A and B are shown apart, each in its own frame.
Chain A
Amino acid sequence: MGEEGIATMPTFSAAEFFVQFFNGLIIAMGIYLIASGLSLVFGVLGVLNFAHGSLYMYGAFLVFTFTRYVLVAIPESFWITLILVPALIACLGIAVETGFLRAIYRTDPLYQLLLTYGLVLIFGDLVKLIWGAENQSVARPPGLQGTVAVFGHLFPSYQVFVLIPISLGAMLGLYLFLHRTRLGRIVRAATADREMVSALGINVRLLYTGVFAIGAYLGGLGGAVLAPMGALYPGMDFDVIIDAFIVVVIGGLGSLGGTVLGALIFGELRSFGILFVPQFETLFIYILMAIVLIVRPQGLLGKQVAGGH
């Protein structure tokens, strides 16, 4: 590092800024899909679900299985899996919630962490048993393998036509659900005061299962949408969950607006970090997280947790 000849700071044009900005947006949209489920589950259930990354990993691997082995003959197989796989992951989420999490809501949060971490290890080894330990790859759907011009600059068409619309759709869907439906209001009420909601005669058990299923759905959707963009391998769950945590911590645990903001900051910091200080591209996000934790521990848009554990 630090060779002569590259020491002078290059200047950047407005066009390059736009390109890095849009790339930051792409990174943000990807991480938002995963972080939103994590944040929602924490907001309502109060459980920091380490295994959320596993749900993402299973979503990606299921897409691989369906497109490579089950629906080989169908050219539109990718689109079918995009609908099917998140639903399957939501079912898996229901099984996890009713089978494991339900038993420990009243215990110390430390036990919840241990449980979800244990699930990460179990899910991780199961992936190796089912799919093997080798790297796998999902092809991008036909017609979306090239680039498309956005304001005169070329970007991958898959990211522009699939990732960004689905991620925006998830954002809008969550907003409408939470703010425009009765059920959404109950969920928001539960975020604010769980005890009160159950005192009002609402079936909290069912509510928790439902919210966890939505969270799992988002995780599975993230895995399915991101699968064609990268490699599939055991351990991809760890790589993603750390980034998702950073996003949620910066934005505010349990705050969905905060998750949007956190994802945008995460994406743009990464993208412009690469442009200006490539040697330390990952450093800024950690510095920012540290500052946020010191100055505003509840996150940028997070509310102070009432009561406290």
Chain B
Amino acid sequence: MRRRAWLQCVMIVTVLALVTTPVLAAEKKQQPIKIGLLYSLSGLAAVYTQGTVIGHEIAAEEINAKGGLLGGRKIEFVTRDDKLKPGIAVNEFRRMVTLDKVDFVMGIISSGVALAVSQVAKEMQVLFVDTIAQTSALTEEQGHAYVVRTNTNSTIIGRTAALAAAKQPWKTYYFIGPDYEWGHVVNSDFWEFLQRKQEGVEKIGELWPKLGERDFSSHITAMLNANPDAVFSSLWGGDLIAFIKQAKAYGFFEKTHFVSTGAGDLDILKPMGEEMPDGIMATFLYAFDMSIPGKEEQHTAFVTKFKEKAGYEPKSGDVIGYVSTYMIAEALEKTGSTESEKLGATLRGMSFDTVLGKATIRPFDGQATFGYHTGITYTNPDYPFKRLKDVVRAEGEEVLHTQEEVEKIREAYAKKAN
């Protein structure tokens, strides 16, 4: 008996020693800053998120190579897949916080998923930095102290297009958009702002094809029959490509003007190649050869590194991953801590000078004020795909809802909820 008891003692001590040694060793080194990255890494959205994660990683590598943050602490990512589902995203968020012990979480591509995650962030009092999902509801109606966005939002996108369209003599508008949250929000943002900026504009019809529509023949002819001066579209991805190809065959782009959010992004321009018509008014956040004064060197280095890792030029979502990481890094240094409450408070009201231009995270809603662009598609002999000319930049400050507007929106939302 005695001997067994002694053996047990030895065992316990050995196990304890084995367990504690690495912990003690780690204690001597600096603990990393653990950031959770929550994206849809499988399924349809993977096309957008793969590059975003690479963007995050490039920024973290650069920061770590320079000695890290907060006196030598390295950035370490814990990356998880939300499978585009709110339920899974919420569970992964909890798991990352409780098991992986991340300090805070960045990410999310789907607007619906972002709204769900934001509620858990609020409940757990852990900061959620929204990077890709762009519904204005996240920071306006449902905003709180633990959510900020380091990207543009649906208001910036719809209203930037409206600013450019208002300078044209077009009076009658036809609307088309995918029949879900995104399409409706962007179309109404555009229309509401256009009416404010230009007198006598008229909406003569609207069409809401389902997401994933293949055949737009009837939509196209219905719109052409109404003979509008211009058509506004919030279609995106494969739907937008299919629409443009089919509309072109009907001579659509000779008969009316086309204003499109998204058609200026590389994920549309590249696959369409020569088939993209000239003269489309298209919006975009970013182009890989865009130069922001004073940031050329850092930007070129990023594009080179990105191409090396991913095999293609960075797109809007990819540069957002990179820029967001730098914004958070600056805020961490300024806060001097990784605590969510303090970090969130520092981020609000802080200004940044990034490769996407200058931006401030607004104190009252946590929304970043990045600029957005409108341009006209044209054939550039140096590229196998269409580029944009006559590019006009609208700063976020010019177009975002004002503090007063945001408060009204929140009041209306609170009334509806009661």
Contacts and interface: CB of A to CB of B under 8 A. Distances in A.
Q: Do A and B bind each other?
A: yes
A274 B44 contact: no
B217 interface: yes
A24 B127 CA distance: 51
Given A19-B225, A157-B249, A281-B207, A137 B212 contact: no
A137 B241 contact: yes
Nearest to A275: B222
B221 interface: yes
Given A139-B275, A156-B246, A231-B238, A6 B206 contact: yes
Most buried by B among A20, A140, A156: A156
A135 B237 CA distance: 7
B46 A133 contact: yes
Interface in B211-246: 212-215, 217-219, 221-222, 225-226, 237-242, 245-246
A183 B114 CA distance: 57
Interface stretch (B57-65, B266-274, B372-380): B266-274
B246 A278 contact: no
B50 interface: yes
Interface in B43-80: 43-44, 46-47, 50
Report which residue of B202, B209, B218, B267 has the largest number of chain A beta carbons within 10 angstroms of its beta carbon: B218
Interface stretch (A105-113, A232-240, A254-262): A232-240
B249 A147 contact: yes
Interface residues of B, number: 47
Given A230-B245, A239-B214, A147 B250 contact: yes
Contact of B246 (A1, A134, A230, A239): A230
B245 A137 contact: yes
B237 A233 contact: yes
Contacts of B240: 231
B28 to A, nearest CB: 43
Interface in B244-292: 245-246, 248-251, 267-268, 270-275
B87 interface: no
A278 B205 contact: yes
Given A235-B212, A278-B206, A278-B222, A230 B249 contact: no
Interface string B20-48: 00000000000000000000000110110
Interface string A116-152: 0000000000001000111111011000011100000
A9 B274 CA distance: 39
B204 interface: yes
B207 A146 contact: no
B389 interface: no
Nearest to B272: A137
Given A135-B237, A139-B274, A146 B46 contact: no
B295 interface: no
B197 interface: no
B196 interface: no
A240 B238 CA distance: 13
Contact of A240 (B207, B214, B219, B237): B214
A101 interface: no
Contacts of B239: 231
Indicate the member of A1, A23, A232 with the most B CB atoms within 10 Å: A23
Given A231-B237, A231-B239, A24 B218 contact: yes
B203 interface: yes
Contact of B268 (A5, A30, A135): A135
A10 B227 CA distance: 13
B249 A274 contact: no
Given A6-B203, A157-B249, A136 B218 contact: no
13 contacts: A3-B203, A26-B217, A132-B47, A134-B270, A135-B271, A137-B241, A137-B271, A139-B275, A156-B217, A231-B240, A239-B212, A279-B206, A281-B208
Interface of B: 43-44, 46-47, 50, 179, 184, 202-210, 212-215, 217-219, 221-222, 225-226, 237-242, 245-246, 248-251, 267-268, 270-275
